[in-house]
Chain A
Amino acid sequence: MKGEPMATVETTAGAGGKHLTFKLAGEEYGLPIGKVQEIIQRQEITRVPRLPEFVSGVINLRGKVIPVLNLRRRFGLPAQTSTGRACIVILQAPSATGWMLTGIVVDEVTEVVEIPTERVEPPPELGARVNLAFVAGVAQVGARLILLLRTDKVLDSREWAVVEQAAQTEKGAD
């Protein structure tokens, strides 16, 4: 499978390194900085029909049309009207034909932090409000608890296609 080598890098053992941290529904999350292309201001997102709920739509990134995910919906968190600090983090994700850019909407970007590998613990069995498949590990930085995300799982575009099929079946039923 294509995502495999990446997945090994992002598991607990090797999850240290520089991370971009952001806030979503009160929790703090981290993304490996190498996967982040840029952070842009929140802008109007154009809806695209027949995609799963967690795909907000598409935006214009300097002439390129790229999809944007709503992480709250992706993680099953309550929806919230955006605070003024909401922004879109543009990530690189592997795709069938090389690299693909995808945006995720987050409540607020906090900082870039160096996370020593030894601070990273495996994801807890209980208590997390997030689907554990998305979490590579949990890091303790001072008093903060940061959930480190597996971008390959979060951005896996194969899931979008599945939902598209589901939408068609639903249509067939009516």
Chain B
Amino acid sequence: MVRNFVAEYRQAAAALVPTLAALRSGRWGADGRPELTQLAHQLRNAGLFLDFPRLVTVAQLLGELVSLATLTSVQINLLVACLDVAEKLVGGIESNQKEPPLAGELAALADAARQQGLTWKPAGEAAPPPDTGLSDAEKIAQLLEDAQAPPAAPVAATKTSAATDMISIFIQDAEEVLDHSEQDLLRLEQEPARLHELLRHIHTLKGNSGLMGFDGLQQISHRLENVLQQIRDGVAATTPARIKFFLEVVDALRQRVALLAKGGTANPGDDTLWLERIDAVLHAKDAAGGAIAGTVTEPAASSLPAARGGVRVNVERLDHLNDLSGELVIATAVVNHLSACRPGSDVEQFNRAFHQLNLITSEMQDTIMAARMVPVEVACRRLTRLVHELSEKTGKPLDLQLVGVGTEVDRHVTELLADPLVHLVRNAVDHGIESPSARKQAGKPAVGTIRIEAMHHSGEIWIIISDDGQGLPREKILAQARARRRIGATEEPRDEDLFAVIFEPGFSTAETVTEVSGRGVGLDVVRRNVERLRGRIEVQSRPQLGAMLTIKLPLTLAIIHGMLVRAGAEQYVLPMLAIRESLRVAAAEIHQVLGRGEMIVVRGETMPLFRLADLLMIKQPAGQAAGELVTVIEDGDRRVALLLDELLGQQRLVVKSLGDALGRIPGVAGASILADGRVRLILDVPGLIRIAHERMT
């Protein structure tokens, strides 16, 4: 283990030669920073794990220096001195398995650090390592034993809130690192250079797990790292079987992280099994002997995508900020309202001030909402793996294309979209893409393409999932829709009306023949999640050319365009997205249906007519004259006409929740505060239509 560490260090140090040369001549270029940070991290972790306190102290100082924005010449010298001392410590460790004392050098470093106001934490002095009289090998053996004895984590035993914070940060990091590792593994065959990145990820995980005392995680990632290093050094080759195995290891690591997230220990009890399995790969080498892949060369640092600068923000705080900015919008609206009804001398001045306030408010809100934004890519993370597995399972060669997935959406959108995307991709593979032989016959390339494209389009986010398969089985869907009486027996629906049926719960299953089976449950989830995001789905399909689903989502969830309407004494907000049209009707056009309800005919289409107050079950003063204003609301292809008294105009509104106390009220989506400070309820159109349909049956 010590040997491994020394080898790692030598390698890292070799990469630093140019940086070091520049430093020695007094130049500090920020380009050396990532490597130096990595080195400091590596030394610190190794020092903590292998119990070399002096190394830890020096590494901490090194890390702190590297994190400074600019360095004075004194600080550069100190940095060089740190590296020199680290080199000497590692040298001593290599030859004697022990840290050399280096008292003079360390004292000099300590003085210099204190003069610069930097931290010097002599780990060795504060907590001298208990001399158990064990050799290093024995200590390591003991560590391994501890790793297998649950509960292993000392952290778990004393869960202070700080420790819980640390754990949650660790979990987030680990999840991210494992996601990236998985991506690297999946692309490893095509892009061998990804190995370096992969090694870095696993290394990070190992280090962090070690710091947190999650021994199982650390041990497994350590062994995995060893195997990967062998591949890098050309001792072992990358084979599909190995990649598959590594993916399994990643899953095992993930399982441990998931256990931690649930508040347990990161130990499902099969650590030993995994360690043995990895070791088996380690010792198997390559049976074929000569068939060893050429060593991989490290790509130039500049070709790697630059890490996105970011700050972790507590979601609750961000939500609060978001609320506050919403309130600011409201306050501005109030000022606006006042300015309109207050005749005064300084009107012009007031208007200017108001204009300024307006600008600031909208800019602030944009920024804060932007802080909640993440790329669509986040929702696509599982797909690469999924397609890889589906391809293996079905024997269909597949290509997943992700286009424009850098498009940013609200975090909430990616959370709700991840599952639907999995369902849709699975459907496309199972039902859309044909077998390679069928594709060949149809004159298509053997590799089936699934494409996910995200884009901005006229104030909406569009996410398009398309495949070049055989398209939707229109005839079968039509027959099924007729059987379910969703479409009249003689009616010849347009594609968009027909295909909307596939999203209904329970659609398809056994009756629609094996080819379409399974399309029922998944698509219902898709529809529900898209509805929750106040979006809609459109389906297009061409026989033999493929299917295309377009998910259209509003740009933001915090603000909606709403129509303020009056029904009797009450005012409500209807989301503009759900309004199809509004029209005036004569009383004679309203037909009674067997005394059970009312209906009207709009442009040849018959639809049920309801009074809003009835749907909401609000008591209205009796004898209210029926208005003649009708607004048609729609949810997918279901339409209902609402009898209203007045349309009061459109506006942008900040969406507020009614809170836990009032909970989910059927037909009500939330509330909003108008410019005059009054609260108005935002109606939930899909909910209203559901209520209406319940009434009719």
Contact = CB atoms under 8 A, between A and B. Distances in A.
Given A49-B618, A102-B661, A65 B656 contact: yes
A14 to B, nearest CB: 27
Q: Report the contact-size class of chain A (Cβ under 8 Å from the partner).
A: 20 to 34
B681 interface: yes
A167 interface: yes
B327 A58 contact: no
B660 A48 contact: no
A171 B660 contact: no
Contact of B617 (A50, A58, A60): A50
Interface stretch (A25-33, A116-124, A142-150, A157-165): A157-165
Interface residues of B, number: 29
Contact of A48 (B326, B662, B678): B662
B665 A67 contact: no
A64 interface: yes
Interface stretch (A80-88, A92-100, A133-141): A92-100
B323 interface: yes
A51 interface: yes
A47 B659 contact: no
Identify whether the interface residues of B are mostly helix, strand, loop, or mixed. mixed
B172 interface: no
Interface in B651-681: 656-663, 665-668, 671, 673, 677-681
Contacts of B667: 49
B665 A50 contact: yes
Interface string A101-117: 01000000000000000
Contacts of A157: 660-661
Most chain B CB within a 10 A radius of its CB, from A46, A49, A160: A49
B679 A60 contact: yes
B677 A160 contact: no
Interface string B565-598: 0000010000000000000000000000000000
Given A49-B618, A63-B326, A44 B661 contact: no
Interface string B314-337: 000000000110110011000000
B155 interface: no
A15 interface: no
A171 B617 contact: yes
A59 interface: yes
Interface string B422-452: 0000000000000000000000000000000
5 contacts: A47-B618, A51-B662, A65-B658, A95-B660, A160-B661
Given A60-B678, A62-B327, A64-B656, 17 more contacts: A48-B668, A49-B616, A49-B617, A51-B665, A59-B679, A63-B323, A63-B326, A63-B673, A65-B656, A65-B657, A65-B673, A67-B659, A96-B660, A100-B661, A160-B661, A161-B663, A164-B663
